[in-house]
Structure 1
Amino acid sequence: MRLILIAAALAAVPLASFAQDDPAKQAVKARQGFYQMLAINMGTLAGMAKGDIAYDEAVASRAAANIEALTQYDMPALFIEGSSSADTEGTAAKPDIWTNSEDFQAKFAGLGEAASGASEAVKGGQGNIGPVVGKLGAACKACHDSYREKS
């Protein structure tokens, strides 16, 4: 009886892991995690820029540093074939990403350029955050306008 239970348990393991082995779904989930971290930090900066959150230089600098770090990640590598909105449920990634991959990668690099030095730029007062948020937002919008489905 014990041997049968062990065999049944071992047989179930591959079935459970098989459901999670879809590379497209894994890529979408990873992208969503990346964008969630980006959104949390952008939200902090935007809230401070608008005055909805009290300016705190250390918090602003840390949020901007997090964005700088995120832009160093090879995010375009997570846009694998078969993970567009036409292929996979739960993503807003337009198929144009794959037909214009150089432009998509350039737009992501533009986010990195906008983030460069942001952790220092937000220091010195609440008024310094708005221009940083504007640069970051423009970089996000440039990519979203071309490569993200409207929701």
Structure 2
Amino acid sequence: MMKLILAAAIAALPMLAHADAAEDALEARQGFMKMLSINMGTLSGMAKGDIAYDAAAATQAGANIEALSQYSLPALFIEGTSVDDGVETEALPAIWSNSDDFATKFAGLQEAAAGAGAAVGGGQDAIGPALQQLGGACKACHDDYREK
């Protein structure tokens, strides 16, 4: 009996590792989006005048967005992290079936984010054009791959 329990426990280990990897990927993905949202919100607030323009804070938010965009977000959309797997996520299953297009759209964010830190540090009027580029890249992905 003890051998049977031990064999079952050993057989279950790979499933636990997979569950942990999926959970970790999902949490990292959601954390990425939260950090991106916080920094976009800072810039948006400054552009609208809801937050007083602060060159250092704007530059830091832009630099954070630049840094985040260099992370390989598409790599976090692994097996076991889709709504089809019973996971609570706003990511649509189309990400997994159109992974090349998703990666291309994420590359659009990387391109839009390049130089964002320096661009938004040039005054409140400089934030709007940078946000348009960033927002356009976000929208391109969200239109096809995020639950509305």
Question: Separation in 1 of the partners of 2:122 and 2:24?
Answer: 41
SS state at 2:85 partner: coil
Q: Read off the aligned partner of 1:59 and give its amino acid letter.
A: A
Cα shift at 1:84: 1.2
**Matches of 1:56 and 1:116 in 2, distance apart?**
20
Which residue number in structure 1 is paired with residue 119 of structure 2? 121
After TM superposition, the score normalised by the length of structure 2 is 0.85
Q: 2:37 aligns with which of 31, 35, 39?
A: 39
| Partner of residue 140, structure 1 | 138
Given that 1:25 and 1:88 are in contact with CA atoms closer than 8 Å, whether structure 2 keeps it comes out as: no
Aligned residues: 134
Which of 104, 107, 126 is the matching residue for 1:106?
104
Equivalent in the alignment of 2:4:
none
Greater mean alpha carbon deviation, residues 89-98 or residues 35-44: 89-98
Higher helix share: 2
Question: Contact 1:118 / 1:132 at 8 angstroms: preserved in 2?
Answer: yes
Q: Which residue of 2 aligns with 1:29?
A: 27
Unaligned runs of 5+ in 1: 1-17
> What's the TM-score, normalizing by structure 1?
0.83
Distance 2:90 2:96 in 1: 13
Q: CA deviation at 1:24?
A: 2.2
For the residue of structure 2 that corresponds to 1:143, the secondary structure is helix
State the percentage of identical aligned residues.
65
| CA distance in 1 between partners of 2:137 and 2:37 (Å) | 13
* 1:94 correspondence with 2:92: yes
User: Residues 15-70 of structure 1: CA distance to partner in whole angstroms, max 9, x if unpaired?
Assistant: xxx59943222211110111111011001000001100000011000000000000
- Does the CA-based 8 Å contact 1:24-1:88 persist in structure 2? no
Asked whether the equivalents of residues 108 and 143 of structure 1 are also in contact (C-alpha less than 8 Å), the reply is: yes
Where structure 2 has 5 or more consecutive residues not aligned to the other structure, the ranges are 1-15
Structure 1 residue corresponding to 2:51, chosen from 53, 66, 88: 53
SS at 1:86's partner residue? helix
Q: Distance in 1 between matches of 2:25 and 2:114?
A: 26
Distance 2:53 2:18 in 1: 42
Aligned partner of 2:115: which letter? G
Cα distance between partner residues in 2 of 1:125 and 1:22: 44
Q: Distance in 2 between matches of 1:96 and 1:52?
A: 36
